[in-house]
């Protein structure tokens, strides 16, 4: 529509120029009009080219925006995974601390049991020593008792013989 308007305006302008008496001015004006039309055509071509570039740039920007959204989603997902891993790591660290406490407690208990075992071994050795001494004393007592029984038997035999002789 603009072109049609420009053409009608242009043809009206041309008729005005032709109606004037000075043809050289008309020729100069006509040349200027053609130059201006050429410039308008170049401007329109440039405008179409720029619009094409703008469209391409808009497509590139849309793709870039889509890529940015994808990366943002990936970042969110990785942040969520990172938070989960951190929580798991904290739980594992707590578990490790509990295991270390249990291990320390077991080591202390083991040390106490070793000490108790050592004390029991020493008490057993002392008991065995006492048992050996008592056993030795019992043997000595048994020997004395046998000796005393032998002496008593001899005395009884002597007494019995003396009683028999006295009879």
Kindly calculate the radius of gyration of the chain based on its CA atoms and give it in whole angstroms.
Answer: 64
**DSSP 8-state code for residue 69:** H
What predicted TM-score, i.e. pTM, was given to this entire model? 0.42
Longest dimension (CA), the chain: 208
Contact (CB, 8 A) for 30 and 17: yes
3-state secondary structure of 83: helix
- Averages of pLDDT over each 10 residues, the chain, 167 residues: 52 50 66 89 93 96 97 97 97 97 97 96 95 93 93 88 79
Name the nearest CA neighbour of 83 among 97, 98, 91: 91
Q: What is the rounded CA–CA span in Å between residue 95 and residue 39?
A: 81
């Amino acid at each position: 529509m603009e072109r049609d308007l420009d053409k009608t305006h242009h043809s009206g302008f041309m008729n005005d120029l032709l109606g004037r008496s000075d043809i050289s001015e008309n020729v100069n004006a006509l040349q200027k009009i053609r130059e201006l039309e050429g410039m308008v055509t170049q401007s329109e071509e440039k405008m179409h080219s720029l619009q094409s570039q703008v469209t391409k740039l808009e497509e590139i920007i849309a793709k870039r925006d889509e890529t940015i959204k994808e990366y943002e989603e990936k970042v969110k997902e990785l942040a969520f995974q990172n938070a989960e891993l951190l929580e798991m790591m904290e739980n594992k660290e707590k578990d490790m601390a509990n295991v270390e406490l249990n291990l320390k407690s077991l080591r202390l208990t083991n040390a106490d049991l070793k000490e108790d075992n050592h004390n029991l071994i020493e008490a057993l050795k002392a008991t065995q020593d006492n048992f050996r001494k008592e056993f030795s004393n019992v043997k000595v007592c048994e020997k004395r008792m046998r000796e005393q029984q032998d002496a008593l038997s001899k005395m009884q035999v002597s007494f019995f013989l003396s009683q028999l002789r006295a009879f």
